[in-house]
Amino acid sequence: MKVALFITCLADQLFPEVGESVVRILQRHGCTVTFPEAQLCCGQPAFNSGYREEARRVASLTLDAFEDAEYVVSPSGSCSGMIAHYYPELFAEDPVQLERARRLARKTYEFSAFLVNVLGVTDVAARFPARVTYHASCHGSRLLGVKNEPLALLGAVRELELVPLPRCEDCCGFGGTFSVKLSELSSAMVDEKIEHVLETGADYLVGTDMGCLMNIDGRLRRRGLPVRTLHLAQLLDGAVVRGDKPK
Amino acid sequence: MIIPSEQLGLRARAARALSDPFLRRAVRFTVERLRSGKDRATGELGRWEEWREQGSRVRSHVVEHLDFYLAEFVANVERRGGHVHFAADAAEATRIVTEIATRAEAKLVVKSKSMVSEELHINHHLEQAGVECLETDLGEWIVQLARETPSHLIIPAIHKSRHQVRDLFEADGAHDLSTETAVLAGYARRRLRERFMVADIGMTGCNFAIADSGSVVLFTNEGNGRMVTTLPKTHVVMMGMERILPSLADLELMANLLPRSATGQKITTYLNLLSGTRRAGEADGARELHIVILDNGRSAQLGDPDFQEVLNCIRCGACLNVCPVYRQMGGHSYASVYSGPIGAVLSPLLSKSPQASELANASTLCGACFEACPVKIPLHDMLVRQRARNVASDAATRANGAPPSLERWAFRAYAWLFSSPRLFRLLSGVGRAAQRALVGDGSRASFLVRRVPALFGWVRYRALPLPAKRSFRERFAELERANKPD
C-alpha cells in the first residue's frame, strides 16, 4: 500500500521524531511511505483566525502536494480534521478547487484511524512497561470521530497499564492562537488538564496531536512536573524496538 | 476605582474572573454536576444521537417555515382571546410592555424566568415608569438582590455560593439563616408568596409556542411559573420569534431534549401549557393575555446559510456546561445577555458592537458545544465564521488608507512563507537555529521574548519546545534508505 505522509508543520520543525516513528510503523506494516516535498501547512492557523484568503493560499499547496497520493496519513487529528472538515468550506466558492479538496478529504486519515480502520491493525506487538494515560484531542475525536482507535492500539501493548484520564475529552486549552491571545485562560485550562493527569498517577501522557502535547508538555516542564508526554506513534514505535518483532 | 467589567476587553474580564477563586469554584462545581447529570439522563434514554437528529430536523423545519408557523400561531392565540404584539427591536418591545403596564395601572410585575426580558433590560425600564418588577425564579431573585445579571442561561446565580446567598437574604431582611438549601429556599418562598398575591401583572418567557393550538409552553422547576400565570389578572409573555413548534405532537421530543440536556432531569418538574385567557367557569388564569414576539436581530439570520441554524437553539445551556472557557471564566466575562458558546455566536448576530464580535475569540474551537447541543447547532463552525467576518469588517473599516493591523501583517507573512517550500526551508532553518541559540525553552533572553507578544503569551506560562536540529523533511531521505533492503 502506498501512503503519502502529511507530516504537519509542527512535527516537521519541532518534533521530527514523531514523523520518524510514523514512517517506521507504517513501513513495518507493509506500506511504502512517500514524502511529497511540496507540503508545508494545512492552513489552519490562518483559517481559525478568520484569514480565509491567506488560508486558501497555504491550503492550495496541500492540494497540489497530495494530488496523486492514494492515501494521505498524518500524525495529527487537528490537521487532518482541517482537511476533512474545513477544506470544503474554505474552497466552497471555487468548483475546481472544491472538487480537489473533497477528493483529498476522502483519502486523508489520522494516523491511528489509518492503522486500525484501513490496515486493520490494533496489535503492533509492542511492549511498554509503564503507567500510561491518554488525552483525546478535540479535533481528532470530534471532527473526525476518532475515539476508540488510539485506545484499541494502547490496549494491545504488552505490560502497559492504561489508566483512564478523568474528563479525557476536555480541551487542554491550546486552541492555536488562543493559547497566546488569551494565555491566562489557556493556562487555567491546561492546569485543569494537568490536575486530572496527576490524579491518574501516570508516568506518561499519550496523545495523537502535537499541538495539544506541546501545550501540556510546556506547562508540565514549566511547573517542574515529572510526567512525560509522548505521541502515540512514538510509544508504539519505541516500544517495538524494546519489545517483540511484529508478526 | 473599580472599572465596570463591561468597559474592559475580553482578556481583562477573563483575568478578573480568573482571580476570583469563589466564582471559579462555584461555577466549576455546578457545571460539573449539570454535565454529569446530562450524561446520565441521555444515557438512560438511549439512542441519544437519533433524538438529537430528530430535534435538529424539527427545529430546522420550523425555522425554514417560520413565517407560516408564526401566522398560524398568531391566528390561534387571537382566536382564544389573546393579544399578539410584534416588536422589531428591544426598544419597541419595551414600549409595548410599558404601555400594557400603564393601561393596567400596574404597581407590581411578578416575573418567572425570561431571557428575552433580559435582552430588553425590562426591569430597569419598568422601574423608570414607576412599576416594580420582582423576579420569582430563585436564581433570578438572588441575582436581582445582588443587582447583577444572570451568568448562565438556566442557572442565573451559578456564580454565587450558598454563603453569598445567605448574606444577600440577610441584607433583604432575613435573620439568622443557616446556609442549608431548605432554609434558604424556605425564606425565598415565604417572601415571594406574599408578593404573588398582590401582583397586577405576571410576566413569563416562553419555552415553546405551539402553532396549531396557540399555546404557550413553560418548563419550570420551582412552581413560580404557575403562580405568575394563574394569580395576576394580566399575563405578559415575552417570546423570541423562533420559539415555535408546529404542534403538540412535537412537544414530547422537546420535553425529552430540553430538561435532559439542561439539568439532567428526565422531565421538567412543572410543564405548563397555557392556551388563551381564562374561560367561563375556570377557577384561575389571566383574564388578559399579551404575547410580545421579539425579533431584535433574529430575522436577519433567516436565509443566511452560515448562521440560520443558530435559531434552532432551545436555550438549554448544555453548551455552557461543557465549554472549557465558560467553566474557567463564568458568564459575566462575556459581558452579554447570552454567555457561553451560544452567547459567543448569538451576541454579535443580535448586536453589532465590537465588544460582541470579540466574543468569537473566547473559544479554542474544541467542538464540545456542538457535541453537547441537543439540536446539533454547529457552534464551533459558526465561531470560525464569525472570526472571518471580524477580519473582513476590520479590513473594510481600515480601507480608507489606514495601515492593516499587526495581526493581518502576521498572517500575510505566514501565507507568503508557507506557500513557498524553498523559502520556508531556508527561513525555518534560520529560525530554529536562532531559537536554540538565543531563547532556548523560553527561560533565556527575556528582554527579547517580552517584545514579541505571541511569544510572550506562550512563555509566560509554558516552556517552549526545543526545535530539532534537522527538520523531518531533511531527515526523510535517510528513513527511506534505512528501509531499502540491501
pLDDT in tens, B410-435: 999 999 999 999 899 899 999 999 88
Counting Cα atoms < 13 Å in the Cβ hemisphere of A213 gives 28
User: CB distance A183–B418 less than 8 Å?
Assistant: no
Contacts of B386 in chain A (CB under 8 A): 50
Q: What is the pLDDT of residues B351-385, one digit of tens each?
A: 888 889 999 999 999 999 999 999 999 999 999 99
How is chain A split among helix, strand and coil, in percent rounded to 5? 55, 10, 35
Whether residue A45 is predicted with pLDDT greater than 90 in this model: the reply is yes
Whether residue B254 is predicted with pLDDT greater than 60 in this model: the reply is yes
What's the mean pLDDT when you consider all of chain B? Answer: 93
Q: How far is A182 from chain B (nearest CA, A)?
A: 6
Contacts of B396 in chain A (CB under 8 A): none
* Closest by CA position to B312, among listed B321, B301, B320, B322: B301
Q: How far is B233 from chain A (nearest CA, A)?
A: 49
Q: Read off the pTM.
A: 0.95
Closest CA in chain B for residue A7: B472
pLDDT at B244: 98
User: CB distance A221–B325 less than 8 Å?
Assistant: no
pLDDT at B400: 65
Cβ–Cβ contact A173 with B under 8 A: yes
Is the Cα dihedral A44, A47, A52, A53 positive or negative?
Answer: negative
CA dihedral B97, B102, B104, B109 (to 10 degrees): 60
Of B325, B471, B472, the CB nearest to A185: B325
Please tell me the distance from the alpha carbon of residue B285 to that of residue B290, in angstroms, as a whole number: 13
What is the SS3 assignment for A239? helix
pLDDT at B354: 82
Contacts of B471 in chain A (CB under 8 A): 12-13, 16
Backbone angles phi, psi at A108, to 5 degrees: -100, 135
Percentage, residues of chain A above pLDDT 70: 96
pLDDT at B381: 98
Please tell me the distance from the alpha carbon of residue A23 to that of residue A5, in angstroms, as a whole number: 8
Least confident of A193-197, B9-13, B68-72: B9-13
Contacts of B428 in chain A (CB under 8 A): 13
Is residue B158 within 8 A of residue B330, CB to CB? The reply is yes
Confidence of residue B3 (pLDDT cuts 50, 70, 90): low
Whether residue B403 is predicted with pLDDT greater than 90 in this model: the reply is no
Contacts of A181 in chain B (CB under 8 A): 11, 361, 457
pLDDT at B245: 98
Higher pLDDT, B441 or B101: B101
Q: Taking residues B74-97, what's their average pLDDT?
A: 98
B49 Cβ contact list (under 8 Å, min separation 6): none
Q: What is the pLDDT of residues A216-239, one digit of tens each?
A: 999 999 999 999 999 999 999 986
Q: Taking residues B93-116, what's their average pLDDT?
A: 97
Is the Cα dihedral B370, B373, B374, B378 positive or negative?
Answer: negative
pLDDT at B451: 82
Residue whose C-alpha cell is 510503523 = A25
The ipTM, to two decimals, is 0.95
pLDDT at B198: 94
